[in-house]
Structures are given as C-alpha cells and as structure tokens.
C-alpha cells in the first residue's frame, strides 16, 4: 500500500522534474501517466519522466503554436491554437 507521504513525495518529484525542464525553456507537451515511470515498486523508487519526442524548446523570439500531444490530455491552449507556454505542461499534471 502506498502511503499519503509516498504520494506527496512522488508528486513533488514530478513537479521538480517539470520545473527543471521549464527552467531550461523546454516544454514536454505529452505528460501523461504512460510517460511518468517509477524506478521500482518495492521499495518505492523515484519518478522518471520519459518520451521527449514531442518536447520543444521555447523562447522569447517567436510564439510556438502546434497541435500535438495525446488527444485526451491536450491543454486548452493547444486546442485553441494559442501560443504554447510552460502552463501547457501544468495542465497535464492537473488532469
């Protein structure tokens, strides 16, 4: 059984990983359960974010607008063809 403290630790690791990407101006664009792995089940391991095939480097020079990702997890800005930002990844963490 996974404790509440274990869940808190794992969610914190996901957020730290995404924060690291965003600090380096990278958006993952396909965060979903299948792309968040656990290094071991027993003992409970660490989170690994995988599959950077859709990730993009974002910058100040131009806006990034693409329709990409897993349909069930698309953020509103992607569906509306609005500029992609780091908030796009945060939508996926929330769902």
- Tell me which residues are annotated as active site: 30
Q: What gap in Å lies between CA 52 and CA 32, rounded to an integer?
A: 12
Q: Are 88 and 22 in contact (CB under 8 A)?
A: no
Residue written as tokens 């990844």? 89
∠ CA 33-37-41, rounded to 5°: 115
DSSP 8-state class, residue 74: -
Q: What gap in Å lies between CA 6 and CA 20, rounded to an integer?
A: 21
């Amino acid at each position: 059984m996974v404790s509440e403290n274990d869940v808190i630790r794992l969610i914190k690791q996901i957020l730290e990983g995404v924060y690291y990407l965003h600090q380096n101006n990278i958006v993952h664009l396909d965060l979903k359960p299948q792309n968040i792995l656990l290094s071991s089940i027993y003992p409970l391991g660490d989170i690994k974010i995988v599959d950077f095939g859709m990730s993009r480097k974002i910058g100040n020079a131009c806006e990034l607008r693409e329709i990409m990702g897993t349909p069930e997890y698309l953020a509103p800005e992607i569906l509306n063809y609005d500029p992609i930002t780091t908030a796009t990844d945060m939508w996926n963490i929330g769902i």
